[in-house]
Structure 1
């Protein structure tokens, strides 16, 4: 599915056609040959918003202790392996 692109001038002249196309798939609106906007149907918009809301940023402080312990063990094992054979990882 190729994403169709229209200029802001096209949007003024062909708004009905562009809206109809945007109901089927996202449409890029350009201004001076640079992408500036994306027109998409409400279902796609809601899906994107929902997915954005489920993303979280984690920190070492918020990481479960068991996972942090596994990562620390793996790092230690990697460092010991690297110390034993300095030419192996580079």
Structure 2
């Protein structure tokens, strides 16, 4: 059962995939399963735009951290520990 908001069930997708894909070319379309959103279909330009604006931060470890950043990190920990010791309950 389709809805005007661009939401279709997985059954709709099986029966009307061409129409749903055509709609997804102009705006994102949500696919539901058991009345819960499960997938979003969107055109490649929107996908690339979203990927381009994604968070570019990388995960690392202390071993891969630059020495200058590690020093700042250690200083911040010491400052926090010192301030915690001066607080009276």
1:37-63 CA-to-partner distances (Å, cap 9, x unmatched) read 2211112333455566x5521111111
Identify the residue that residue 61 of structure 2 maps to in structure 1: 59
Rate the CA distance shift 1:16–1:51 in 2: closer, same or farther, 3 A.
same
Identify the residue that residue 74 of structure 1 maps to in structure 2: 76
1:16-74 CA-to-partner distances (Å, cap 9, x unmatched) read 4422331222211112212232211112333455566x552111111111111111101
Q: Unaligned stretches of 5+ in structure 2?
A: none
Q: TM-score, normalised by structure 1?
A: 0.70
How far apart, CA to CA, are the structure 1 residues paired with 2:88 and 2:25? 57
Q: Unaligned stretches of 5+ in structure 1?
A: none
How far apart, CA to CA, are the structure 2 residues paired with 1:55 and 1:85? 35
Aligned residues: 84
